[in-house]
Amino acid sequence: MPRPILRLALPSPLRRLFDYLPPAGVPDAGLRPGVRLRVPFGRREIIGILVEVVSRSEVPEAKLKPALELLDARSPLPSPLFKLCLWTAQYYQHSLGDTFSWALPVLLRQGDPAEARQERFWHAANGARPEDPRLSRAPRQRDALKTISQHPHGVAHSLLSQLQLSKDSLDLLLQKGLLRVETRRRHQAQRHQGSWLLQPELPLNQQQRAAFEAIRAGLDGFQTYLLAGVTGSGKTEVYLQLIHQVLEAGKQALVLIPEINLGPQTLARFEKRFNARIALLHSSVNDRERLDAWIAARDGEADIIIGTRSALFTPMKNPGLIILDEEHDASYKQQEGLRYHARDLAVVRARQENIPILLGSATPSLESLHNAHSGRYGLLKLTERAGGAQPPRFLRLDIKSRPLDSGISGPLHQAMAQTLAAGQQVLVFLNRRGFAPSLLCHDCGWIGQCPRCDARMTLHQRHNELRCHHCGHAERPPHSCPDCAKLDLRPVGAGTERAEERLITLFPDYPVLRIDRDSTSRKGSMAHLLTTINRGEPCLLVGTQMLAKGHHFPRVTLVAILDADGGLFSADFRASERMAQLIVQVAGRAGRAEEPGKVIIQTHLADHPLLVQLTEQGYFAFAEQALSERRAAGLPPFSHLALLRAEATKPGQAEDFLDEACSQAEQLMEQLGLTGIELLGPVPAPMERRAGRFRAQLLLQANARGPLHNLMNAWLPQVETLPGSRSVRWSLDVDPIDL
Ligand code: ADP
Ligand code: ZN
Ligand code: ZN
């Protein structure tokens, strides 16, 4: 009998598997796909995941090395998760080993046990009493028994020293039969007996009920639903009531949210509603907690799993429903390494697990709307705010040839003054941090450029620094112009710091609160700002897109968008979609039943058709218009893209590499008879130099996914062998969201 050959996925960027012989003494039956093995790799030992067992290798038998150790008695990954990883690696054209590295908890990749941690607990034996005559001359044992008796659930072994209990005394008590030891799961989350609900559910309004009933009727199979509900329309209430149904059916729910929404409020809302075991997975959870939560979910010991992008890869024993909130949010797309889109993968996963998935947003992505139009997704709409609040009114304020004072026009200034005088709050939105986006010499035109990027540096006045927002480079601003030595250096344009400073002088009687990454980086500072805002006194909030998400500001009745033009001018075809989403999301923060909100948008393009649609007809009319423009231009979702990016330290190197890759692709298309694919480029990246590297890109655009993937399947292994592939940093982005 020839020995079986193990094909392993190793943490390597190479898109291939690696062959090994079984470790000594391990029976073949233990070698199931998914188990981890420690193997020699060059001079190192690394951990790989078994993908398949075959009978023959292309490597000569004499060169095959045996694996060193089998780490698992059973596969730590349930089969659906294993399949999802295979699908992901294939679709995103990524190394399978590296895909596992992104998808699995770090400690699992490092070889930690993949089973729940067990711990010994010391209990008083039935009927054991400290007054027992056998303890009359053993005061330490008597005290120890007394202490242990006070803990009805037992004392964890790891807490003995903290409670000043000596192991020797406990062993003696154990021998006397006065103690017993139990081994059980550590930190097991508990739920109380009885109802899943800790608070009553709100009676749903008609639209909520229609959405709820539609999804409830389909809870036992795969279907994708798009819940398009304006901000405050009660989407979360619909989620909660569906989750309740899932829990009643003995199943688990996976809830994905954008990083920024994971405030304590989100979790609090779930904890207030449910008597359930909730596992939380986001970026500030440590490795140990992440693995514990992952195992708990896999073993059915967590009822609700809430997390950000990567929580998509959490295994579930009894999956019942996936909810993905704010489905348009760009943070669902990973922009490094494995460039997956959690929304798209979540739909794939739901199909594989045969469960429904609910995508929610007030401003759905054009992709999802297109899928809803074509009948692939069920569309459910909530058009009214649950509390009965009025939708905000929009006003386009043409600022052509109007003087701006730190970004603020005269009419806007007046509107702000009126709002404050009426005892209400104002929200000023500006998507630029810092004081000014550039520093300019008024005499010679010198501009503060980042030495490492093709980008201007932002002036941060508070810290007296010029900072590059692309690579993090920072330096002191010069006192005089580095080119002409004159002293007339002026900040150009306005960021949040400058708007804040100006508002303080314009409205000295009102507090001005700035909310952006700089002002909220200290722990607790955001909570402090929110407390002030929620007190409800008139004030001005100024901030970036952090203001657009997650919070409700009921006392805000005026929202000012200082500059909407970036989204209308940009070369990126998605810029207008993003701008519209941002405007609607910011606007949605404002106003309550008694006080409808007003949104003033400053723009030089007051007649731009997309902006007119958005402000007069609403987001869905905008989306129709934007979709028809995309269709006419053959852009996604009416075509499919993949982007090969490269960067190198020398100019021209990245383009040379992409040129060769491009010729390979052209040859393959001819050989394989593939049509309907266009190769665009290579061209320099929109910002050619970044962090000292020269960047270029090659875009593939296809009418259909099939041929595009056939091409990539054959092409990527060839690209890997190009001589340039070692000196150039390169990556492939399937369905890129920024070009
Ligand atoms: P969304 O998730 O769409 O922004 P929420 O679910 O957070 O909306 O609801 C917004 C507000 O309306 C919340 O304060 C919520 O408690 C309230 N609400 C939601 N549904 C109802 C309902 N059916 N009846 C009364 N209030 C509701
Ligand atoms: Zn100068
Ligand atoms: Zn830079």
Provide ipTM, 2 decimals: 0.97
> 593 C-alpha vs ligand 1 centroid, how far in Å?
13
Supply the pLDDT for residue 420: 95
Q: Which atom of ligand 1 is nearest to the CA of 208?
A: 23
662 is an annotated ligand-binding site residue: no
DSSP single-letter state for residue 547? G
* Residue 69 in tokens: 């150790």
The pLDDT assigned to 231 comes to 84
- Pairing of β 118-124 and β 179-185: antiparallel
| CA of 382, closest atom in ligand 1 | 3
What's the CA gap between 375 and 389, in Å, rounded?
Answer: 31
Which residues neighbour 305 within 8 Å (Cβ) at sequence distance 6 or greater?
252, 253, 254, 255, 278, 279, 281, 293, 297, 311, 314, 316
- pLDDT at residue 673 in the model: 95
Is 450 annotated in a binding site? The answer is yes
| CB of 710 shorter than 6 A to ligand 1 | no
In the structure, ligand 3 is a single-atom ion and the residues with CB under 5 Å from it are 450, 452-453, 468, 470-471, 473
Reading the block at residue 253, the tokens are 């729910």
Listed in sequence order, the residues at least 6 apart from 662 whose beta carbon sits closer than 8 Å to its beta carbon are: 679, 681, 682, 698
Instruction: Please indicate whether residue 593, judged by its CB atom, sits closer than 6 Å to ligand 1.
Output: no
Question: Is residue 539 annotated as involved in ligand binding?
Answer: no
Any idea how long the chain is?
Answer: 739
Does the beta carbon of 229 sit less than 6 angstroms from any atom of ligand 1? yes
Please say whether the dihedral angle defined by the alpha carbons of residues 544, 550, 553 and 559, taken in this order, is positive or negative.
positive
Nearest CA residue ID for atom 11, ligand 1: 232
pLDDT of residue 603: 93
208 alpha carbon to ligand 1 midpoint, in Å?
Answer: 10
> Is residue 271 within 8 Å of residue 197, measured between CB atoms?
no
- Return d(Cα 549, Cα 586) in angstroms, integer: 8
Question: 582 C-alpha vs ligand 1 centroid, how far in Å?
Answer: 21
Residue 585 in contact with ligand 1 by CB distance below 6 A: no
Contact partners, residue 495, CB within 8 Å, separation at least 6: 430, 432, 433, 434, 435, 436, 437, 458, 459
Cα angle for residues 472, 473, 475 (degrees, 5° grid): 135
Centroid of chain to Cα 669: 35
Pocket lining: 236 vs ligand 1, CB cutoff 6 Å:
yes
Owner of token pair 């729910």? 253
CA distance 261 to 551: 9
Cα–Cα dist 297/294, whole Å: 5
Question: Atom 5 of ligand 1 has which residue's CA nearest to it?
Answer: 234
Tell which phi-psi region holds residue 691, choosing left (phi > 0), alpha (psi between -120 and 50) or beta: left
> What distance in Å separates the CA atoms of residue 546 and residue 471, rounded to the nearest whole number?
21
Q: CB-based burial of residue 2 (10 Å sphere; 0-12 exposed, 13-18 middle, 19+ buried)?
A: exposed
Contact between 687 and 455 under an 8 Å Cβ cutoff? The reply is: yes
In sequence order, which residues have a C-beta less than 8 Å from that of residue 730 and are 6 or more positions away?
644, 645, 646, 647, 654, 657, 719
Is 438 within 8 Å of 447 (Cβ atoms)? yes
Cα(10)–Cα(182) distance, integer angstroms: 39
What are the residue ranges in the chain where pLDDT is below 70?
1, 186-190, 260-264, 388, 550, 592-594
The identity of residue 437, as a single letter, is: P
Dist CA 299 CA 301 (whole Å): 6
Q: Would you say the CB of residue 208 lies under 6 angstroms from ligand 1?
A: yes
Q: Take residue 211 and report the two structure tokens written for it.
A: 């959405």
Question: Could you count the other beta carbons within 10 Å of the beta carbon of residue 487?
Answer: 12
Among residues 580, 624, 620, the alpha carbon closest in space to that of 599 is found at 580
Residue type at 25 in one-letter notation: G
Exposure string over 134-172, b if 16+ CB within 10 A, otherwise e: ebeebeebbebbebbbeeeebbbbeebeeeebeeebbeb
Cα distance between residue 367 and residue 713, in whole Å: 24
Q: Are 491 and 439 in contact (CB under 8 A)?
A: yes
Residue 85 annotated in ligand binding: no
Residue 520 CB less than 6 A away from ligand 1: no
Handedness of CA 207, 209, 211, 214 (dihedral sign): negative
Tell me if 723 sits within 8 A of 653, measured CB to CB. no
Q: Residue 238: CB partners within 8 Å, gap ≥ 6?
A: 204, 208, 211, 212, 215, 227, 229, 382
Q: Quote the pTM value.
A: 0.89
Q: ∠ CA 368-217-377 to the nearest 5 degrees?
A: 15
Nearest to residue 25, comparing CAs of 56, 54, 3? 3
Angle at 491 (CA atoms; ends 488, 497), nearest 5 degrees: 145
Show the tokens assigned to 407.
Answer: 């970004």
Contact (CB, 8 A) for 214 and 225: yes
**Is 231 close to ligand 1, i.e. is its CB under 6 Å away?**
yes
Q: Which residue blocks in 14-166 are alpha helix, DSSP H?
A: 79-91, 96-103, 106-109, 139-149
Beta bridge partners of 52: 7
pLDDT computed for residue 189 by the predictor: 65
3-state secondary structure of 243: helix
C-beta of 588 in contact with ligand 1 (< 6 A)? no
